[in-house]
């Protein structure tokens, strides 16, 4: 459970950083409106990445009381941790997509 909680906070922290960086890049290119939309998209991914691991824990009470001798609960805990890691990178994937859009539009003239 501790791993999933720390991955949730990792997704939130790194996602907020990604949103700030993509907004700053949009402002630097002179595309403040597109940078703001990009930051909002990344923050939406932050909400998903930060909330999803906690929802998985809330609706899986068997994972909270797992016993290492019980193979099923250990398998479920492993799956939740893998999904948590994948979701932690979601804001960076969204920011990378917006980065391509901003680069394609180029600076304002």
In this predicted model, what pLDDT tens digit does every residue of 97-108 receive, in sequence order? 999 999 898 887
Are the C-beta atoms of 90 and 11 separated by less than 8 Å?
Answer: yes
Of 11, 86, 10, 69, nearest in space to 44 by CA: 11
Q: Which pTM was predicted?
A: 0.70
| Average pLDDT score over residue span 4-18 | 72
pLDDT tens digits, 51-79? 666 666 666 655 555 555 667 767 777 77
Report residue 27's pLDDT band, with 50, 70 and 90 as the boundaries: very high
Where does the chain show beta strands of DSSP type E? none
**Vertex 77 angle, CA 41 and 75, to 5°:** 125
Q: Which long-range contacts (CB under 8 A, 24 or more apart) does 57-62 make?
A: 57/1, 57/4, 57/5
């Amino acid at each position: 459970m501790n791993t999933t909680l720390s991955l949730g906070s990792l997704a939130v922290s790194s996602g907020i950083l990604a949103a700030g960086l993509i907004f700053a890049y949009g402002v630097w290119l002179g595309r403040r409106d597109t940078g703001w939309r990009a930051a909002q998209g990344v923050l939406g991914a932050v909400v998903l990445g930060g909330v999803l691991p906690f929802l998985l824990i809330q609706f899986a009470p068997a994972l909270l009381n797992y016993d290492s001798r019980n193979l099923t609960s250990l398998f479920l805990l492993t799956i939740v941790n893998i999904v948590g890691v994948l979701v932690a990178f979601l804001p960076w994937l969204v920011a990378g997509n917006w980065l391509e859009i901003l680069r394609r539009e180029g600076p304002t003239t």
